[in-house]
Amino acid sequence: MSELQTNAQTTLVSSNLSPTGSRHGAIMLRTCLVVSGSTNRAEQFAQAAHEQHWSTIVCANAEEAARNAVRNRIQLALIDLESVPAGQQPVFCRLIEQLASICRGNGTLLAVCGKPNDEAAEVWSRGLGVWMYLPGINSQSDIGLLYGQARRVVEKLEYGAQQLNGKHETNGANHAVRTRQ
């Protein structure tokens, strides 16, 4: 057993919300991986995700989060550094580095919530290539803004990928037509 394993189980919290309309059509549920050593904060992150039409996979430790990042298609990983006890930080941080590598490989946005005025944690997080570092985030509305912003970024990335794929398909189709003539 890892030093970070706890009695908390990984839970999948799916939103019961039906997709609603937006200017681009239906809102698709996105999946966020939440890593927090605090049950209360994990519930707060999951509730805010639910309100912003995200489903969540909540993990109590980084090791379980890395397994879930490999097994599931996630668009956002939210790491709660603020909830990690000081004695567990070195091990937790090594595991988060592995998780960050998985996220980069999958094109997953990575957000880190740290303690206010913890410049070392912010520098370390930015060194991992995090999309967003949030010191001292606590309010439900601030967390909701995070999910809203992440949704917009994910939609732009997906739209860009679709456009890129569409151009390649069109170019291929045009090439095929020209070779037939």
Q: Bigger pLDDT: 153 or 10? A: 153
Taking a C-beta distance cutoff of 8 angstroms, is the pair 94, 63 a contact? no
Query: What was the pLDDT predicted at 26?
Result: 54
Structural domains of the chain in order of their starting residue, each with its CATH number: 11-180 (3.40.50.2300)
Return all residues near 24 (Cβ < 8 A) that are at least 6 apart.
Answer: 155
| Residues 69-77, mean pLDDT to the nearest whole number | 93
pLDDT digits (tens, 9 = 90+) for 131-175: 999 998 888 889 999 999 999 999 998 888 778 777 644 434 443
| Residues 48-67, mean pLDDT to the nearest whole number | 91
Residue 147's nearest CA partner among 54, 38, 41, 47 is: 54
Global pTM?
A: 0.73
